[in-house]
Structure 1
Amino acid sequence: MTYKSTTTITDFNGNPTTAVNPSASALGALTNVPVANGKLTVDA
């Protein structure tokens, strides 16, 4: 279930993911989101 104006995070196959499990949404050692110092920052 998603709500209106909800951002959906997907893995490399286009499947929805919560991104809580990094290995499930990673391709080898590369994640689908570039991060600095191992931390992801989102500005709203």
Structure 2
Amino acid sequence: NMGRITAYGVMSTPGIVMDGRVMGFGRLLSREEIMEMLREQKA
């Protein structure tokens, strides 16, 4: 849904939002980057 995507300020895909916060967009994140984001969210 492009309306929801742009509501977060994401202007290019792919994008990732965790708990309502934009974590990255406009490029593919590496597995390591995603794992680090998940670890930070869990802490």
What TM-score, normalized to structure 2? 0.23
Rg: which structure is higher? 1
Report the structure, 1 or 2, having the larger strand content. Answer: 2
Compare relative contact order (CA 8 Å, sep 6+) and give the higher one, 1 or 2: 2
Report the structure, 1 or 2, having the larger helix content. Answer: 2
